[in-house]
Amino acid sequence: MEIVLKNPSGRIRKVETGNSVTALFFGGFVFLFRGLFKQFFLWLGFCVIYLIVLHFIFLLITNYDVELFIKGIGSLAINVFLMIKMNDISVRAYLKQGYVRAEDPVKNNKYVVGELGDYPGTKPDKSAIV
């Protein structure tokens, strides 16, 4: 499903809904590619703190292979979480930036396949010209 959002200056963004496979492979760098710098640095900070905490926990364990395995499984879990929530986080961030749902003025229907769910401020903008 796809949602088309428009900001007051006329910029149009098409945002997918559902799972993001690119987030599974590239993690939080997808936020950086989408221009969501706040979310990128939050993800980066969380990952750094996660790795530092695990490193101090595993200072007591001398087996380096176990530490790498646990860090790898944890990093994969973080990326799976992002895969599930990435598009939802992106839509909410765009809505906070002032984007609203756009409509096609010719067909007089919404540029959305499916429902927006509980996203706040998603009343369609009838002045959207594409």
6-60 pLDDT, tens per residue?
888 888 888 888 888 888 889 889 999 999 999 999 999 998 998 888 888 877 7
The pTM for the full model equals: 0.70
The position carrying tokens 């986080």 is: 89
The distance from CA 28 to its chain's CA centroid, rounded to whole angstroms, is: 8
Alpha-carbon distance 26 to 11, whole Å? 26
Tell me the per-residue pLDDT of 52-94, one tens digit each, with 9 for 90 and over: 888 888 777 767 777 788 888 888 888 899 899 998 999 899 9
Residues 2 and 113: beta-carbon distance below 8 Å: yes
